[in-house]
């Protein structure tokens, strides 16, 4: 049974970097908050200088941490320039309330606790959380050109092993399809999804078949040009990112997509828009 079948629902919504409209993205607070509100958690991993798999979306830390309070080095500030112990002293939470990226603070909807310190988590920490709650997980591998690829992928397989051992639904995705091809060789049973933006790969159906993925996740502008039915006939499930409007989600599902990635629940989306329109 593949990842999407294990979720047990025809249409599913993944917590994009956790419940990041209410909590700082890619933090344990955001992942904990997603449990019970989303069908699965999606997160991003990159290796630190000492090879620890850290959770961060951007290539650098400036947007979502106070890294510049901890070092005199000039920008850019990359995860792979520091070891895990140093990185976990950096605050990945304080920026969120100040910038209010989704307007939840202005709408009076942001939890007061969202303003507190939040470290950059490690993948094993989130695996432990998902294992405890049996929360399905989608791990996205960010492109890490400075990393030893074989070590990165083997460390990933080791970190996610507890979830696989207990049958918690697990999916590994990436925009770097070379990682996916290498993982298919290292572990043919691992469930994989190819992420794309801007344009589809040439000869898409054969490309995905050769890659050996069970999922194809596309950026919202590609929804209309994705051959959903053709891919479904090959056992490849389509997902789309990032859709917060429930009407847009419903339209995507009507096109045959089974999964969408969202920053918030439909109820929160409606509450924000009600607040801003009143």
Give the pLDDT score at 1: 78
Give the pLDDT score at 275: 84
User: Cα–Cα distance between 69 and 100 in angstroms, integer?
Assistant: 20
Give the pLDDT score at 276: 74
DSSP E strands: which ranges in 59-160? 137-141
Structure token pair of residue 68: 């510049």
Three-state DSSP class for 262? strand
Range of the domain at 54: 3-277
Find, among 159, 161, 149, 123, the residue nearest to 42 by Cα. 123
Give the pLDDT score at 278: 61
Domain count, the chain: 1
Max Cα distance, the chain (Å): 55
CATH number of the domain within which 73 lies: 3.20.20.190
- Per-residue pLDDT tens, the chain, 278 aa: give them: 799 999 999 999 999 999 999 999 999 999 999 999 999 999 999 999 999 999 999 999 999 999 999 999 999 999 999 999 999 999 999 999 999 999 999 999 999 999 999 999 999 999 999 999 999 999 999 999 999 999 999 999 999 999 999 999 999 999 999 999 999 999 999 999 999 999 999 999 999 999 999 999 999 999 999 999 999 999 999 999 999 999 999 999 999 999 999 999 999 999 999 987 76
Give the pLDDT score at 174: 98
pTM of the model as a whole? 0.97
User: Is there a contact between 237 and 25 (Cβ–Cβ < 8 Å)?
Assistant: no
Structure token pair of residue 137: 């997980």
């Amino acid at each position: 049974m593949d990842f999407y079948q294990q979720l047990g629902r025809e249409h599913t919504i993944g917590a994009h970097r956790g419940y990041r409209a209410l909590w700082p993205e890619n933090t344990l607070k955001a992942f904990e908050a997603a449990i019970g509100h989303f069908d699965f958690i999606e997160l991003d991993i990159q290796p630190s200088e000492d090879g620890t798999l850290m959770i961060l979306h951007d290539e650098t830390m400036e947007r979502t941490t106070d890294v510049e309070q901890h070092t005199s080095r000039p920008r850019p500030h990359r995860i792979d320039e520091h070891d895990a112990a140093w990185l976990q002293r950096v605050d990945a939470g304080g920026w969120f309330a100040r910038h209010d990226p989704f307007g939840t603070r202005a709408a009076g909807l942001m939890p007061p606790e969202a303003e507190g310190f939040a470290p950059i988590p490690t993948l094993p920490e989130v695996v432990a959380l998902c294992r405890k709650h049996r929360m399905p997980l989608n791990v996205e591998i960010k492109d890490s050109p400075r990393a030893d690829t074989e070590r990165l992928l083997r460390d990933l397989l080791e970190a996610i092993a507890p979830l696989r051992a207990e049958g918690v639904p697990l999916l590994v995705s990436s925009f770097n399809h070379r990682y996916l091809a290498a993982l298919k060789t290292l572990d043919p049973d691992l469930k994989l999804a190819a992420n794309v933006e801007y344009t589809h790969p040439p000869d898409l159906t054969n490309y995905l078949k050769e890659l050996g993925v069970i999922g194809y996740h596309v950026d919202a502008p590609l929804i209309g040009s994705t051959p959903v039915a053709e891919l479904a006939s090959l056992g490849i499930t389509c997902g789309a990112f990032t859709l917060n409007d429930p009407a847009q989600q419903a339209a995507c599902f009507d096109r045959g997509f089974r999964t969408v990635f969202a920053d918030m629940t439909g109820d929160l989306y409606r509450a924000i828009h009600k607040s801003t329109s009143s």
